[in-house]
Amino acid sequence: MLLRLLSTCRVQNCDVNTDGCYSVLLAVVYFTALFPYVVLFILFFRGVTLPGASKGIIYYLKPRFDKLGDAKVWSDAAAQIFFALSPAWGGLITLSSYNKFHNNCFKDSLIVGIGNILTSLFAGFVIFAIVGYLANELNMDVDKVVDQGAGLAFIVYPDVVTRLPISPLWSILFFIMMITLGMGSEFALLETVMTAIQDTYPQLRAKKTWVVLTVCIIGFLGGLSVTCRGGMFILQLMDSYVSSWSVFMMAALESVIVGWVYGGERFIQDIEMMIGQKNVHFHNFFKLFWKFLSPFTLMFVLFFNLIQYRPLEFGDYVYPMWANGIGWVLSMIPITFIVTIAINKIIHAPKDKTIWERIKFLLKPSPQWGPAHKLPVFTLTDVKEIDVDKTISNPNYSSPNTSPFGSKI
């Protein structure tokens, strides 16, 4: 919280040395993003040299197809993707809004998606190599040692590193990695919240430091409960309810809106306006996912979990009914906001229309809808001498080469 606040204050107080501020923030972001990979490589080479590491790696790579019938496996897999890539949570939209208009978002998406998959696979080798060592030390099967969710990172793994030679070194490296991962996530999440607040209340942009301080304090106070003795139980409750049910519904709704309401073809045309025209296979691929595969898969996971729903458990502890009720309330809060705002918009739509006509009216793009990238508008009367070579360039487009939007007159 303190680092994020200081970085925000530094940006606002660096009107003179903007490049210096940008360099400092860029260094912080690169460090928090890349340092975990350094630690992962160190732990990987240390882990695979430990006795019993092969047992853990074999357990990690050996598929158990009987688990495909368990709804929780599907839910955990989907939740992991939402955690790693942050779709439907606003993080991707917020951070991408800072890109230049002609940034190749398609290439960035491929890099992030493939990088996430490879990182997850590699991290699995790191984790299970050392878990195999713990199973060997305790003379137990790997599946008896492996814990689920946060327990693996905060209970099992810390116990393992204390058993290694030079345990303080591995403990320091591991927890520094966890801190930097948390900081990286904090940057994106807090920026998402801040962008939403400042876009809703533009007058607060002049007081960004105080808004950041307020949001950080609220987040800090809200997180104190997780640090208490029963914090792991609270964390499991939020992890199981908040990051699954509502997110699945929001993501499916986004896919339906893009694919069917706004139109998949129209959305692809908007993308082509930024990155250039694509072939028909590009069009068909993304329309297939937006219209059918993505919403169908998400709703399948959602209903599959509802059918096989059972009260939350953590170890041998079964959560009471009131605790599960709190979990359901937390998971429905985002959906409640969406439904409330939708109803409010329908009520305040033109009164001369029926309910269905109001909904259709609200689903149409507003007259102000359009790309942030604006081509310059000019007339020949702007040029006094027609035979003079003059170039009208697009001020919103920056390129190391000559702007392709320049127009010779």
52 phi-psi bin (left φ>0, alpha ψ -120 to 50, beta other): left
The closest of 212, 198, 179 to 5, measured between CA atoms, is: 212
Task: Please identify which residue in the block is written with the tokens 């204390």.
Answer: 162
Check: CB of residue 212 under 8 Å from CB of residue 194.
Answer: yes
Beta bridge partners of 314: 317
Residue 394 annotated as part of some ligand binding site: no
Q: Are strands 317-318 and 391-392 parallel, antiparallel or unpaired?
A: unpaired
Coil/strand/helix, residue 407: strand
Which tokens belong to 225?
A: 């409960």
Which tokens belong to 348?
A: 């305040």
Which tokens belong to 123?
A: 């991290």
> For residue 327, how far is the Cα from the chain centroid?
22
Enclosing H/E stretch for 66: none
Check: CB of residue 261 under 8 Å from CB of residue 267.
Answer: no
Coil/strand/helix, residue 393: coil
Residue 116 annotated as part of some ligand binding site: yes
Residue 294: burial class (beta carbons within 10 Å; 0-12, 13-18, 19+): buried
Long-range CB contacts (< 8 A, 24+ apart) of 380-389?
380/409, 383/409
d(CA 172, CA 188): 25
CA distances from 289 to 260, 284, 285, 292, 378 (A): 12, 9, 7, 5, 41
Task: Please identify which residue in the block is written with the tokens 């959305």.
Answer: 267
Check: CB of residue 44 under 8 Å from CB of residue 124.
Answer: no
Dihedral sign for Cα atoms in the order 245, 247, 252, 257: positive
SS3 content of the chain, % helix, strand, coil (to 5): 70, 0, 25
Residue 330 annotated as part of some ligand binding site: no
Residues placed in the known binding site = 116, 181, 185
Residues placed in the known binding site for Na(+) = 116, 181, 185
